[in-house]
Structure 1
Amino acid sequence: MSDESSNEAPRTVRLDRELVRALAHPMRNRILGLLRVYGPQTATTLAGRLGVNTGATSYHLRQLAEAGLVIEDDSRGNARDRWWKAAHQGTEFDKAELLDQEPELALGFLHGVGQSYAENIFSFIDAVQTMPADWRDASVLSDYFFHLRADQLDAMMQEVLAVLEKYKTADLTAPLPEGAEQVTVQLQAFPRETR
């Protein structure tokens, strides 16, 4: 069944300059990520996860809703609690196009993305000591260095993305299969500054 016939939002939204503007604040990027991973939440539950006050999360949720990145979950809540959910499961964007159109905005957005990635890594490091041995052994925190041309790096990344696509979960908020955990795979590939 196609997205249109099921009345569901597309799984991925392509970011344009207006959507990047809405996500340029790191808190909004984090809120959207939490809604995608953990499913619908209230401003209060998000505030608890983020360690901020409810007023801040409410404000940022309204900004995300205005941009169409989050929507109210009408199936939950009551007159007192508004539940929010991500309108899309993922985002994609053309870095070159955004950097040409709005360089400062694009760099701010990319810095926020990088900050989120760094926070994910530090959370893993903080938890690794108490993880079950099989999860500790299966986890990877590593980097590799190559001498490549841009076209070779692009080809490598296409191959890696094809492998990741095989394991992609349709709905991150669905109940976990027995023995499964939510797993994040962060991927960065870029030329290093040479000296």
Structure 2
Amino acid sequence: MTTPPAPSSGAAREDVLLGTAALRVLAHPLRLQVLAILRRHGPSTATRVAGELGINPSAASYHLRRLAAGGLIEEERERGTGRERWWRAAHRQSIHDPATAPPEQREAGRACVQALALAYAEHLTRAAQEITRLPDDWFGASAYSDFLLRITPQDLARMRTEIFDVIDRYRGSEPLSPEGSATVSVQLQAFPVPGTMPLGPGEA
């Protein structure tokens, strides 16, 4: 949800704090992938999005319309034709912090985060298929790590904030397109080990 968009004919606003309606729109792994494509590669059409995701254009068109209804993407009317509509991301990134979200967003927020975890898992699976063919310098710099820690929720929240601060520092200082650069996905997953935490009703 934090990938900046490629340059387009309309500048995307920096970020959006997700409301309940937008969270519900994003509670679908495929819809999250559609949004990521627009943010990563810039404006596209249903046909192009469908080709990249391996779905039919009518399904891609449906998800694009749902994202537009949620205010997450917008149509490039000056670029489209009568038969083909172009869409672009409306924001650089979407923000939802369950720790500070109002109570009425709890259900929608959980559904969105679940969809996000599923989308990230698919993204990591695709990345795993390329590991054996990565250039040596990029392979050496990549990280596929797992750490087990015994900490409290407060410790985890503090660590998350510190990691986000580091990422923001790199994002804020990077040139537009430095020589030798590539778009890098920095994923952070930190959660109780499945099967070790008492679950509430409806959360199994």
Counterpart amino acid of residue 113 in structure 1: L
Give CA deviations for 1:170-191 in whole Å, capped at 9, x if unaligned.
Answer: 99xx7x4331111000001223
Separation in 2, partners of 1:159, 1:97: 17
Partner of 2:5: none
Partner of 1:108: 111
Separation in 2, partners of 1:79, 1:106: 37
- TM-score, normalised with respect to structure 2: 0.80
> Following superposition of structure 1 onto structure 2, how do residues 1-195 of structure 1 map, counting pairs within 5 Å?
10-96=13-99, 100-101=103-104, 104-168=107-171, 176-192=177-193, 193=196
Q: CA 1:126/1:9 → structure 2, altered by over 3 Å: closer, same or farther?
A: closer
Separation in 1, partners of 2:166, 2:20: 30
Counterpart amino acid of residue 49 in structure 2: L
- Which stretches in structure 1 are left out of the alignment for 5+ residues? 1-6
Q: CA 1:108/1:11 → structure 2, altered by over 3 Å: closer, same or farther?
A: same
Separation in 2, partners of 1:73, 1:9: 12
Superposition deviation, residue 121 in structure 1: 1.1
Superposition deviation, residue 25 in structure 1: 2.4
- Which stretches in structure 2 are left out of the alignment for 5+ residues? 1-9, 199-204
- TM-score, normalised with respect to structure 1: 0.84
Contact conserved, 1:99 with 1:107, CA < 8 A, in 2? no
Superposition deviation, residue 61 in structure 1: 0.9
Superposition deviation, residue 8 in structure 1: 5.4
Separation in 1, partners of 2:73, 2:12: 11
Partner of 2:7: none
Contact conserved, 2:98 with 2:106, CA < 8 A, in 1? no
Percent of aligned pairs with the same amino acid: 38
Q: CA 1:11/1:170 → structure 2, altered by over 3 Å: closer, same or farther?
A: farther
Q: CA 1:188/1:60 → structure 2, altered by over 3 Å: closer, same or farther?
A: same
CA RMSD of aligned residues (A): 2.5
Partner of 1:3: none
Superposition deviation, residue 149 in structure 1: 2.2
Separation in 1, partners of 2:107, 2:162: 31
